[in-house]
Structure 1
């Protein structure tokens, strides 16, 4: 079977507001960690909200599902010629690996990383995106990087899914393709939530491979992003597009209401790896997915509309933070922990250590991220884009991630 590969988008669509959402996702994870390590997350109404800001990971996964799958759908609907499959993988590796490896080495040198990152052979698991295969290592190294392991699994399997879906849907009109594929993605999402429940109720022995940190447990999140890609590329559900274009703020108001539900109405644990009931385990996962969906919809559907929300998403400083958000995500937690150990947040903001920690960490991680972007990421991204232009010079490329 020949696997399809991502093509340039048939309408050369661009999604400039997604960079702002990347910024919000990275900042929300940073504030979540500052809240947890300062103790704020266990106290009061503000802590109840900040304890839920790990949903930034959910938003990152939806963004990946949307941007990486949309070119496949556009190609099925008559888009330009596809890139070679090897080029897709090459571009993903260039996007993710160099900056991550540099961050691993830099942070291992200072302030230091747990898990024996620089030891051999055990440290290789971090460089090969395999730390999520065991509870002993999943949060070691760069703690948030377990999500990169999930992302890499998604990159590896997306072309196969696209091949199978393309064969199943071939010969049908775009609207019919959209209906069928949305049902398929919904089925995968239900299976994914069921697997998470099985892991929580039966399989979590506290040792060995952990299903909750592997790709099957996150198909709901990726699948929602892919569903948005289907709606965007096929132009299905025109009334939905029009409604989102007219009232993008309504989507964010709904996201805020769902965040309030998660913070105050679901009795969820606060902090890392808290105790969940079977119901709250699934409930948090689903509500986070709906929040991220509401946040992402105005940036991906009905994009020709205006309004105050889109002006905020187009704000240049926010877009610039989004541009370096990968580096912020990589560097922030080890720096935050080290600054807390030295007591620096209390010096920055004696009466608000969480604020001091967040501001100090954002400044330091932002500086590291900017250097990473200029010195590491941008040169490799330039190689990625030159390769794409060489394969399909007529296509105006849309950066996938």
Structure 2
């Protein structure tokens, strides 16, 4: 999951105390907020589809019919969007520093903001779940070791899996591990260094996947592969797209609207093509089909292309993702991600009496989406936003006055 408190709203870079020209500004990025909201919703749809019994969702128009389940079954790719988008946004102030447009972000502020962004909402949910298990026997109480593993997010940091009380928490350790590594990776954001960074990330990710594939059984393979080492290529690709975005803005070398739209459409076409490829090899995916090694890398390339175009306000991306609904979902997306699976799991048994899986899914979504939005909004208003304000007040870096976001 990609929780953020900046960058998708506004980030104006200044140089030598003067605001850059309009062509060089890092202006508002509303489409990225909408894309984050879409990714959270997509993951929700995927989990709802699975809990409803994996319906085929055939749309019959008499002369022809087509299935729309492919859109639902691919919802797990929302995590690929989260990881790539996370790197894209977090790297922006570091890229501006490497390009000479601001002073270096203070690392203590960077890490403090990350802590305040992730842990308050996570801890609130953790203790709600513990209270429900202890007082109402809803869910299982963690053992002492598991409790401390949850406190420090040591859930899947090694090859021994600590079952999370909320299944979606597995992404949080990966995010936090990337947060720790980002300040070192940014030193490779130079014209002659970044190709080496990309190659190193690809080699690391594919090598780790190969080692895990050989050493781990089929049953545990999915768990072991969800570590930063197997996903580092996605983060680095996102970083490079963010760096390219900052460089283009600072140098005033922004592509035309037609080129940006074409780039965004190409990104969408690439994701669709990957889905078709995955459909062909899905049955043998975990047995080592080529897409097993390449999916995350290829997906992130297309996602990064789309993020780059969307950040430049490509017309197509703005029309699809910069609308008020998706931007609202983007604002509360961390809460949507945290709460949706629990709410779906609690509601799903109530709809088991509905025989049709299609109707079961519709009923589940009609109930779960409003409840998830309410829970996410409460999380944002009561927990996330107050801590975001604390983080902003405690940020005293001089570059903040220019509008450059502290990471």
Deviation of 1:352 (Å):
2.4
In 2, Cα distance between the equivalents of 1:235 and 1:337? Answer: 45
SS at match of 1:132: coil
Per-residue CA shift, 1:296-320, capped at 9, x if unaligned?
A: 22223xx1x5524313332122111
Unaligned ranges ≥5, structure 1? 1-5, 167-176
Match of 1:379 among 382, 386, 389: 386
Deviation of 1:212 (Å):
1.0
In 1, Cα distance between the equivalents of 2:314 and 2:300? Answer: 25
Indicate whether 1:25 and 2:39 are aligned: yes
Match of 1:186 in 2: 199
**Compared CA separation, residues 253 and 13, structure 1 to 2 (3 A):** closer
Deviation of 1:160 (Å):
2.1
Match of 2:269 among 257, 267, 275: 257
Match of 1:242 among 250, 255, 266: 255
Deviation of 1:206 (Å):
5.6
TM-score (norm 2): 0.81
Match of 1:89 among 111, 123, 135: 111
In 2, Cα distance between the equivalents of 1:8 and 1:50? Answer: 37
Alignment of 1:261-276 (within 5 A): 261-266=273-278, 267-269=280-282, 275-276=286-287
Indicate whether 1:362 and 2:369 are aligned: yes
Q: How many residues align?
A: 376
Match of 1:218 in 2: 231
- The worse-fitting range, judged by mean Cα deviation, of 10-19 and 363-372 is 10-19
**Compared CA separation, residues 240 and 291, structure 1 to 2 (3 A):** farther
**Compared CA separation, residues 360 and 136, structure 1 to 2 (3 A):** farther
In 2, Cα distance between the equivalents of 1:370 and 1:234? Answer: 35
Match of 1:395 among 398, 402, 407: 402
Match of 2:64 in 1: none
Match of 2:63 in 1: none
Alignment of 1:214-363 (within 5 A): 214-235=227-248, 241-242=254-255, 245-266=257-278, 267-269=280-282, 275-300=286-311, 303=312, 307-343=315-351, 346=354, 351-363=358-370
TM-score (norm 1): 0.82
**Compared CA separation, residues 379 and 225, structure 1 to 2 (3 A):** same
In 2, Cα distance between the equivalents of 1:208 and 1:193? Answer: 14
In 2, Cα distance between the equivalents of 1:31 and 1:265? Answer: 21
Match of 1:156 among 177, 180, 203: 180
1:32, 1:50 within 8 Å by CA — same for their partners in 2? Answer: yes
In 1, Cα distance between the equivalents of 2:285 and 2:173? Answer: 22
Match of 1:140 in 2: 164
Alpha carbon RMSD of aligned pairs, Å?
3.4
**Compared CA separation, residues 208 and 66, structure 1 to 2 (3 A):** closer
In 1, Cα distance between the equivalents of 2:329 and 2:158? Answer: 33
**Compared CA separation, residues 291 and 338, structure 1 to 2 (3 A):** farther
Unaligned ranges ≥5, structure 2? 1-6, 15-19, 59-66
Match of 2:3 in 1: none
In 2, Cα distance between the equivalents of 1:54 and 1:204? Answer: 22
Per-residue CA shift, 1:349-373, capped at 9, x if unaligned?
A: 9852223323322211111110000
In 1, Cα distance between the equivalents of 2:260 and 2:132? Answer: 43
- The worse-fitting range, judged by mean Cα deviation, of 253-262 and 40-49 is 40-49
In 1, Cα distance between the equivalents of 2:236 and 2:379? Answer: 30
1:55, 1:292 within 8 Å by CA — same for their partners in 2? Answer: no
- The worse-fitting range, judged by mean Cα deviation, of 18-27 and 35-44 is 35-44
